[in-house]
Amino acid sequence: MNDSATAAIHFQEVDYAIFDVTILKKITGSFPKGKITTLVGPSGAGKTTLLKLCNGLISPTAGDIFINEEPISSYDPIQLRRRVGIALQSAPMIQGTVFQNLALPLELQNKKLTEKEALHKLADVGLAQPILHQKVDDLSGGQRQKVSIARTLMNRADILLLDEITSALDPTSVHEIEQLIIDLNCKYETTIIWITHNLQQARTIGHYTWIMADGEVIETGEIDILTSSTNKRVQRFVQGNLA
């Protein structure tokens, strides 16, 4: 797990602070290439902040991050963000229609999205045609989340960062999205980092897991450590979550 040779992303003593408030402390660890790693921990633990570091939306205040063994600072920010895609927690939308949102990643590269491709992507996330030209303001929370996932997939990134992408979905949809991501992982060997508050989900989809609390990583390892860890803080978090 700490062998950075097989790591898609490796953190080395990473700190992140903003306005002198420390949010992440001495983060060290790897996200294995071609695997699904779930990222769990209580609210405010710093999970979203960690994902934004990987996508280059923010930079560490100390320490280093390596993407495919190259320091993150050696990448052009635009190329990095296309290769390390992120689905943001709040599923933000640009004003306009679902189609405009799906076309956005391509439009940013001066490319066009055809209606057929858009419908295909919608089908992938379990949405049907009538929604394509709907204004995003009229979408339900769950539909928004699905559009946000489809939009992130447009860039065909080799690393995908997913921030609680199923929190607003019904159980059937949750299952569909899980299957979609697992398929991507199998078919294209896409590396996945998936933040979830649902430990059951973390266990069924993840190969590995990172457990965070108070800006620190308190445990990393194969997914079983969620139940087998002897770390008191991990046990407390898991029990609290399942209760």
Partner 1 sequence: MTYLTLSITLIFVLIPLFLSKTLHLQLEKDTIIATVRSIIQLLAVGYVLKFVFEAESFFFIFLMVALMIAVATDNARKKGKTIKGITWKIAITLVVIEILTQSILLGFGVVPATAQYIISISGMVIGNAMVLAILFLNRFTAEVEARREETELILSLGGTPKQAVRQPLIDAIKTSMIPTIESQKTIGLVQLPGMMSGQIIAGADPVQAVQFQLMIVFLLLTNAAMSSVLLGFLSYPTLFNERMQLIKRKR
CB of 53: closest distance to partner 1 in angstroms?
Answer: 11
Q: Rounded distance, CA 17 to CA 60, Å?
A: 8
Smaller CB distance to Mg ion: residue 132 or 218?
A: 218
Q: Binding of partner 1 at residue 186 (CB under 8 A)?
A: no
Q: Identify residues 173-192 at the interface with Mg ion (CB under 5 A).
A: none
CB of 218: closest distance to ligand ATP in angstroms?
Answer: 13
Q: Binding of partner 1 at residue 47 (CB under 8 A)?
A: no
Q: Rounded distance, CA 84 to CA 43, Å?
A: 24
Where does this chain touch partner 1 (CB under 8 A) — which range of 3-11, 52-60, 192-200, 220-228? 52-60
Among 78, 123, 186, 242, which residue sits at the site for partner 1 (rule: CB under 8 A)? 78
Q: Binding of partner 1 at residue 239 (CB under 8 A)?
A: no
Asked whether 209 and 226 are in contact (CB, 8 A), the reply is yes
Q: Binding of ligand ATP at residue 155 (CB under 6 A)?
A: no
Smaller CB distance to ligand ATP: residue 17 or 174?
A: 17
Q: Binding of Mg ion at residue 55 (CB under 5 A)?
A: no
What are the DSSP calls for the chain, one per residue? ---GGGEEEEEEEEEEEETTEEEEEEEEEEEETTSEEEEE--TTSSHHHHHHHHHTSS--SEEEEEETTEEGGGS-HHHHHHHEEEE-TT----SSBHHHHHHHHHHTTT----HHHHHHHHHHTT--GGGTTSBGGG--HHHHHHHHHHHHHTT--SEEEEESTTTT--HHHHHHHHHHHHHHHHHH--EEEEE-S-HHHHHHH-SEEEEEETTEEEEEEETTHHHH---HHHHHHHHHHH-
Among 15, 25, 34, 104, which residue sits at the site for partner 1 (rule: CB under 8 A)? 104
Q: Binding of ligand ATP at residue 166 (CB under 6 A)?
A: no
Among 39, 88, 131, 226, which residue sits at the site for partner 1 (rule: CB under 8 A)? 88
Where does this chain touch Mg ion (CB under 5 A) — which range of 81-89, 101-109, 113-121, 126-134? 81-89
Q: From the list ligand ATP, Mg ion, partner 1, none, pick the one residue 46 interacts with, judged by a Cβ distance below 5 to 8 Å according to partner type.
A: ligand ATP
Residue 60: name the closest of 16, 10, 112, 117 by CA. Answer: 16
Q: Identify residues 108-137 at the interface with partner 1 (CB under 8 A).
A: 108-109
Applying CB under 8 A, the residues found at the interface with partner 1 are 18-19, 55-59, 73, 77-79, 81-82, 85-86, 88, 90, 92-95, 104-105, 108-109, 151-152, 154-155
